[in-house]
Structure 1
Amino acid sequence: MRRKLQSITDKLSPIFLIVIILIVWQSVVSFNVVPNFMLPSPVQVVQAFIDDFSSLMYNASTSLQETFWGMLIAVILAFLSAFLMDRFRLVKKSLYPILILTQTVPTVAIAPLLVLWLGYDMTPKIVLVVISCYFPIAVGLLNGFDSADPDVINLMRTMGSSRWQIFCHVKIPSSLNNFFSGLRISVSYSVIGAVVAEWLGGNSGLGVYMTRVRKSYAYDRMFAVIFLVSIISLILMKLVDVVQRLCMPWDRKRRKEKSA
């Protein structure tokens, strides 16, 4: 009973905190602590979201396409590079420092160059999503490959297993937990990366929409976009959790046994 009550409390705590923040926010605007034109109230943001729903969905579809293709390419490149770094020691020594170095360059500084080189269509946005999402996935996979049980690997070698069989049956399963952790981080970056790239130009997308409403001083619509981006990111992270549970049934069983 106590454990069930604790579980309910854990789930309701963040909701309760969000409600308090919204109440304080509405109060600050209602009592003119902050001018309304500088900070729209939650009610105004919701109204703006409803009024511009069709336009938001249209622009969101463009951002989601950029996010999907960017994430897909990032996962493929991360898997290939992690495989090569795990397979060849020279590749790891050569490539890994470069991966670390790429994380010191802010994506906001790269975005104008990508638009200059690749134009204003989806291509520079997809490339920026790839750059933003590639590193956490690649490092997660590489650490997962390295965490494979050496005793199991040696046992499979004595049984005549090939390197590919060891990779498929030992290293990939051992890397899934780290992979999904990196993927969860990446999906939270992906939509933001697409929106940041869209700030610099384009025909559609949430970043383009945000730039237009900012120039017209429609800050309630800007906040509506911010909340929509947050909701999309949370949904994508939840989808990663669902896929993880489907791909790792043994982990779900282990957690149930642990909580029992």
Structure 2
Amino acid sequence: MGAVRRIVLDHWKVVATFAAIFAIWEFAVLALGVKPYILPKPSVVMTQMFARMPTILDGALATLQPMLIGYVLAVAVGVLLALLVAFSQSFRETLYPVIVFLQIVPKIAVAPLFLIWFGYGLLPKVLLVFLLSFFPIVVSAVSAFRSVDTDIIDLARATGAGPGRIFWKVQLPHALPTLFTGFKVSAALSATGALVAEFVASDRGLGYLLVGYSNNLDTPMAFATILVISIMGLALYAAVEAVERIAIPWHVSRRNTEPELSGNP
């Protein structure tokens, strides 16, 4: 309870904003007499969600697996491809256009093909999450690795540093802030990818439940499912941000702002 209280106190403005939104939503539905199958009250959504929590948790666990596997693969492959593109002119001229083309192809159009090729199961969902997540990582990583000031690299070379030392001591630290930007964008997209994959190529999971609830006009449970997948995406985003705080505490975005908040110069 202490940890929850600390989080609420640290982010009270966000909590207050969401509380106000839900209060307005509740009042508007009640005042306008909107039918529950069109727009349920937040209180009804929460009641229904807790009443069917075992089903929701089972679906969340089924969705979490491809979401995490696809995201981790996107990070690993995305950074590797970005290194090849950033430091090799040949790969930049041949590989990068292919990556851009793959991003342009609508992922929802590819999902039925995955179903034909791989059937129902984990693999097609992981692939779709991967495809949705890896492009922001590649773009941000290429930009990060290529944006190091050449004067800094020349200075490092003048001190006798070799390519490996320059990469680990200069280029990688310089690239990390931009890299984490791509990681966080992809973390949010991974939840979307997992849900979309289950719309097409799954017989379980939150996406599968959402389709069933929508077809049965069970709107409160549809909202509950959307809420749970949103929380999962937010949790992954927060986890990446926590790693960022540990990895680059020196960055300007992570500096302590207490003197400014307290009014000291």
With normalisation by structure 1, the TM-score equals 0.89
SS of the residue corresponding to residue 167 of structure 2 reads helix
Q: How does 1:222-237 map to 2 (within 5 A)?
A: 222-237=222-237
Task: Return the offset for 1:26.
Answer: 1.4
2:164 counterpart residue number? 164
Match of 1:44 in 2: 44
Q: Which runs of 5+ in 2 are unaligned?
A: 1-7, 261-265
Partner Cα separation in structure 1 for residue 35 and residue 253 of structure 2? 53
Alignment match, 1:221: 221
Deviation at 1:258, TM superposition (A): 8.7
- What is the match of residue 198 of structure 2? 198
Gaps of 5+ in 1: 1-7
1:88 — aligned with what? 88
Q: Is the 8 A contact 2:111 2:201 kept in 1?
A: no
**Residue 218 of structure 1: CA displacement?**
1.4
Q: Deviations over 1:100-130 (max 9, x none)?
A: 2333222222211222212110101100111
Say whether the 8 Å CA contact 2:115–2:200 is kept in structure 1.
yes
Aligned ranges for residues 171-210 of structure 1 at < 5 Å?
Answer: 171-210=171-210
The separation in 1 between residues aligned to 2:113 and 2:250, in whole angstroms, is: 45
1:18 aligned to 2:18?
Answer: yes
Shift of 1:10: 10
After TM superposition, list the pairs within 5 Å mapping 1:12-161 onto structure 2: 12-161=12-161
For residues 183 and 14 of structure 2, the distance between their equivalents in structure 1, rounded to whole angstroms, comes to 23
> Percent identity, aligned pairs only?
31
Structure 1 residues 45 and 83, CA, compared in 2 at 3 Å: closer, same or farther?
A: same
Report which stretch shifted further, 238-247 or 107-116. Answer: 107-116
Match of 1:5 in 2: none
Total equivalences in the alignment: 253
Separation (CA, whole Å) in 2 of partners of 1:10 and 1:215:
40
Cα distance in 1 for partners of 2:248, 2:190 equals 24
Shift of 1:14: 3.6
Displacement of 1:27 = 2.2
Shift of the 253–72 alpha-carbon distance from structure 1 to 2, 3 Å rule, reads closer
| Equivalent pair of 1:129/1:190 in contact (CA under 8 Å) | yes
Aligned mates of 2:59, 2:187 — CA distance in 1: 18
Q: For 1:232 and 1:71, how far apart are their aligned partners in 2?
A: 13
SS of the aligned residue for 2:217 comes to: coil
**What amino acid sits opposite 1:170 in the alignment?**
V
Q: Relative to 1, partners in 2 of residues 1:253 and 1:113: Cα closer, same or farther, differing over 3 Å?
A: closer
- The 1:133–1:44 alpha-carbon spacing in structure 2 relative to 1, beyond 3 Å, is same
Shift of 1:244: 0.3
Task: State the secondary structure of the residue aligned to 1:256.
Answer: coil
What is the TM-score when the length of structure 2 is the normalising length?
0.87
Q: Deviations 1:168-204 (Å, cap 9, x if unpaired)?
A: 2211111110111011110101011011110114232
Q: Contact conserved, 1:245 with 1:252, CA < 8 A, in 2?
A: no
Aligned mates of 1:10, 1:60 — CA distance in 2: 28
Q: Give distance in 2, aligned partners of 1:202 and 1:28.
A: 36
2:78–2:134 CA contact under 8 A, matched in 1: yes
State how far apart, in whole Å, the 2-side matches of 1:176 and 1:70 are.
Answer: 21
- The CA distance in 2 between the partners of 1:259 and 1:115, in whole Å, is 56
* Range 201-210 or range 185-194, more displaced: 201-210
TM-superposed CA distance for 1:47, in Å, is 0.8
1 CA distance for matches of 2:192 and 2:92? 29
